[in-house]
Chains A and B, each alone.
Chain A
Amino acid sequence: AQSVTQLDSHVSVSEGTPVLLRCNYSSSYSPSLFWYVQHPNKGLQLLLKYTSAATLVKGINGFEAEFKKSETSFHLTKPSAHMSDAAEYFCVVSDGGTSYGKLTFGQGTILTVHP
Chain B
Amino acid sequence: DAGVIQSPRHEVTEMGQEVTLRCKPISGHDYLFWYRQTMMRGLELLIYFNNNVPIDDSGMPEDRFSAKMPNASFSTLKIQPSEPRDSAVYFCASSQRLPGTGSSGYTFGSGTRLTVV
Q: Given A43-B59, A88-B104, A90-B104, are A36 and B110 also a contact pair (CB < 8 Å)?
A: no
Contact B103 A107 (CB under 8 A): yes
Contact with B along A81-109 (1 / 0, CB 8 A): 00000011010000000011011011110
Of B35, B100, B110, which is within 8 A of A42 by CB?
A: B100
- Whether B49 is near chain A, meaning CB under 8 Å from some CB there, is no
Nearest A residue to B55, CB-CB: A41
- Whether A56 is near chain B, meaning CB under 8 Å from some CB there, is no
Q: Given A88-B104, A100-B113, A106-B104, are A41 and B42 also a contact pair (CB < 8 Å)?
A: no
- Whether A114 is near chain B, meaning CB under 8 Å from some CB there, is no
Q: How far is the CA of A76 from the CA of B113 in the complex (A)?
A: 29
Give the contact-size bracket for chain B: 20 to 34
24 contacts between A and B (CB under 8 A): A38-B99, A38-B100, A39-B100, A40-B101, A41-B56, A41-B100, A42-B45, A43-B33, A43-B35, A43-B43, A43-B44, A43-B48, A44-B45, A44-B99, A46-B41, A88-B99, A88-B100, A88-B104, A99-B42, A100-B111, A102-B111, A103-B111, A108-B103, A108-B104
Q: Can you add 16 more A-B contacts, CB < 8 Å, to A34-B42, A40-B101, A44-B35? A: A38-B100, A40-B100, A41-B98, A42-B45, A42-B100, A43-B33, A43-B45, A43-B56, A43-B59, A46-B42, A46-B43, A100-B89, A100-B113, A102-B110, A103-B91, A103-B111
